[in-house]
Structure 1
Amino acid sequence: MNLKGKTAIVTGGNSGIGLAIVLELARQGANIVIDYLVHPEATEELEEQVRALGNCVIGVRADVSKVSELQSLFAQAVEAFDHVDIMVNNAGVETRTSILDTTEEQYDRVLAINLKSAFFGTQLAAQQMIKQGGGGRIINISSVHEDWPMPGNTAYCLSKGGMRMLTRTAGVELAPHGILVVGVGPGAVSTPINSVTMSDEALLKRLDASIPLGRVAKPEEIANLVAFLASDGASYLTATTVFADGGIMQSSPGL
């Protein structure tokens, strides 16, 4: 997987799965644009790690739920590196609320950060890739919950279901331009978004027991898949989601 000379934007790139993706793409030779909104100190530390790998990197503070800030993110990426070859729509949040108790504010926030940002991130990436020529890769970090209900987290599931159809439809629309659009659907991953479960021994034990492989994923395992999808090895994959869930979607109580 050689990404030498490629430029990758990773939204929500300074923590969790995004951080692991940044580091793995850098290990494969890509120049990196780290989008972040909070914790600039974490971004600065991550930039140093990328530079230590011998790669060029910039951090850009942008609220990806706002199209104007996404446009600024792309403008700064192109100014720094002249082109964008890989777009990773990774930024995401959840509220862990049900259809009965989700507020309008919670709904708007989840859909804006998870789905709106991916839609316009895909649009802007495709426009830039078409302008520069040569195709490109757009990778949407979705979830098993784009297809698998999670009661008590309804807005999140809705946003990921929307990302599923974004990936499929945009993949078909952009195929003539050589732009591949693929989703990555992680199962349970050891990241800050799952900190409540990861810090509770009983909850974690129950979660592990529900996964055929017997454990949650490491962020690096998701990042490895993203790097593959960005590489020439995935040249015939588009308009689909690759699930990395340890088999949890196929688990059964054994009736």
Structure 2
Amino acid sequence: MKILITGTSRGIGLACAKKYLEMGHEVIGFDVAESDLSSPSYTHMIVDIKKDLPDLDGINVLINNAGIQEGPDVIETNLSATIAVTEKYAFQDSIHSVLFMASSSASNGAEFPEYAASKGGVVTYMKNTALRLAKYGATSNSISAGGVYTPLNAHIMDDPKLMQQCLDETLLGRWASAEEIADLSYYLTNVNKSMTGQDLLIDNGEQLKSNFIW
């Protein structure tokens, strides 16, 4: 199948690209940065998803992964551009599945206000996409990850005290790896046939953890 992934230069996007290549698929990656990933089945395109999007046909799986945490373009990048990418590439006869990388912030409202709002919008738009993709027999779902070991979180990972504080907030005392998210992405888009319109919270029990006081 032909897989389009946004934000493939590092982190979850890169892990997803490697996973789909490993499983024998053709992968096209969009990013504003260059990529060190090299494979006959991988095409890397320098694309700012907020601007002009190239014409591509025959996309089977779309993974909306590109996003930022802070800055004046958070809403435009995380939500508006994600909508634009989906509207351009998802609604065609070849489509099999669309996956959105949301965030646990979409449901708990934590972190930066614009970031949380943008990811909440992504989850709602994912459901809208599921409604409209049904006629193609295609699925639309999202992953709302909590802490993940990626370069985006290097400022936490490089601070042992802060890192431990974050781990202590989870039930399982751990964060997810980018490869773990990639494995789940593959299941949702290639194995799954019946789950659609759903947001999966992958946070090692962080939101469930609470101190109950009588």
Which one-letter code corresponds to 2:12 in the other structure? I
Find the partner of 2:100 among 140, 144, 150.
Answer: 140
Which structure's residues are more often strand, by fraction? Answer: 2
* 1:236 maps to amino acid: S
Matched, 1:251 2:182: no
| 2:9 counterpart of 1:24 | no
Q: Hey, what's the Cα distance between the residues in 1 that align with 2:29 and 2:95? A: 21
1:63 is aligned to 48
1:176 Cα offset (Å): 1.6
Aligned partner letter, 1:31: E
1:229 aligns with 2:212: no
Aligned to 2:69: 94
- Is 1:116 the equivalent of 2:80? yes
Q: Is the CA contact 1:89–1:117 (under 8 Å) kept in the aligned structure 2?
A: no
Report the alpha carbon displacement of residue 135 of structure 1 after superposing the two structures with TM.
Answer: 3.8
Give distance in 2, aligned partners of 1:37 and 1:170.
25
- Structure 2's unaligned 5+ residue stretches are none
* Identity %, equivalent residues: 24
**TM-score after normalising by structure 1:** 0.80
Aligned mates of 1:20, 1:93 — CA distance in 2 = 17
Assess if the C-alpha contact under 8 Å between 1:134 and 1:178 holds in 2: no
- CA-based RMSD: 1.3
CA shift digits 1:174-208 (9 cap, x unpaired) = 21222211101111001111111111010000111
Amino acid paired to 1:110: V
Q: Structure 1: any 5+ residue segments left out of the alignment?
A: 1-5, 96-105
Deviation at 1:59, TM superposition (A): 0.6
Which structure: greater helix fraction? 1
Q: Which structure 2 residues correspond to residues 28-177 of structure 1 after superposition, within 5 A? A: 28-38=23-33, 40=34, 43=35, 45-46=36-37, 48=38, 51=39, 56-66=41-51, 68=52, 70=53, 72=54, 75=55, 77-78=56-57, 83-95=58-70, 106-107=71-72, 109-127=73-91, 130=92, 133-151=93-111, 153-177=112-136
For 1:247, give the aligned amino acid: G
1:36 Cα shift? 1.2
Q: CA deviation at 1:126?
A: 2.2
SS in 2 for 1:60: strand
Superposition deviation, residue 134 in structure 1: 4.5
Q: C-alpha distance in 1, partners of 2:9/2:177?
A: 16
Please show how residues 150-229 of structure 1 align to structure 2 within 5 Å. 150-151=110-111, 153-229=112-188
- The DSSP-based 3-state class of the residue aligned with 1:243 is strand
- On the 8 A contact 2:172/2:204 being kept in 1, the answer is yes
Output the amino acid matched with 1:122.
Answer: T
Contact 2:59 2:95 in 1 (8 A): no
